[in-house]
Structure 1
Amino acid sequence: MKTDVPRPIRLENYRPPEFLIDTVELNFTLDPTRTRVMSRLQMRPNPDAAKKGQPLSLDGETLELGEVKLDGKKLEPGEYQVTDRHLILPRVPQKPFTLEIETFVNPEANKALQGLYRSRGIYCTQCEPEGFRRITYFVDRPDVLAVYTTRIEADAEEAPVLLSNGNPVERGTIDGGKRHYAVWKDPFPKPSYLFALVGGNLSAVTSTFRT
């Protein structure tokens, strides 16, 4: 049951994002109670931002944070700050950089139906309007457009069908066939609220019509 009340966002308060994200690589290891999400973000300062040299503040809610890496270097807890709604990096390069973040979420316990949740044995996502921040830390706003590549790994019996945005570019099995994975690539830049993932035992109904 959804209980969160959306916060009003007024046009008069709009400010350009201080950082942009060009590409997003997501790696999901699906588990009913502890799904691991690895994100790799290619980021850069926004030349149109009102202020330069600001800390990087990423949106995030109900997340368990694992590791954070900046340009391949693992950050220590004192090099970033975690609040109920944000992951803040006080110092980031004022040029393009790579940010890697490990988070864990509990789809089974997610009753808000925002972000990644599990319903009747099927993994689903709901990212509109601000659900992506319940999957990983991100600049979760509609004016940040990025190209997404998504790898999904799951138990082959529990979730034989793995779907995400874009086109399937790779599939395979691991662990002797007990687990499998699928890689999806969406070549068109999109906001985070359009991200989608489905994993489960799905079926298709097909038919032929002649007119």
Structure 2
Amino acid sequence: MARPQMGDERREQILAAFEACVMRAGLAKTTLTDVASECGLPRSLVRYHIGNRAEMVDLLIDRMVERAEDGVARLRPKGRAMTTHDLVDVLFTNTFTNDVTNTVVNELWYLAERDDNMRDRLRAMYGRITRMLTTQMEKDGLGSSPQARRDTAYAILSLTYGNEAFQFLGLQGGRRAAALAAARTLVDTMATEGTGTKTKKEKQK
């Protein structure tokens, strides 16, 4: 009798093979047959565990989101609460520096130019990162309003993604450090603007 977790293990095996194929040949040229050959499974079994190609792409996006969230959880500071600065550091040094994820995302952007569903999925993926930032900002008492937090989160996300896009083009040197410093400055600026929510002490007055 198969172990209960075998389905999850198979799915992970297939998605890892899918990523490998995308890294080698690109998303548009990768087929279910390619993935089956990469992971050494029959095509019928790949389809049973994953579904069709569109469903496999959806699962691949979910996998990237989980990888990003796992990275944030793994890199939480020991012995103290995470701050917005910490989260920004993780985005620059972990979330947006994974070569596999960056390659897959670039392929997805290409598809999104012609596929409304793919555009929606990418928007939702970046929306989750934006909400992570705004939630942390609110916990830290940063920003004069929810809109101010969303605007700053958008600017930080633009810096992180834009930085990696330029790195891909070969603009190396200390530019990542410069982009990170700019993102941290945005956070520091929010700290001087006050918060749109009352602190516990203010509520007690």
Fold in common (TM above 0.5): no
Higher strand fraction (1 or 2): 1
Q: TM-score, normalised by structure 1?
A: 0.29
**Over alpha carbons, which structure has the higher Rg?**
2
Q: TM-score, normalised by structure 2?
A: 0.30
Q: Larger relative CO (CA 8 A, sep 6+): 1 or 2?
A: 1
Higher helix fraction (1 or 2): 2
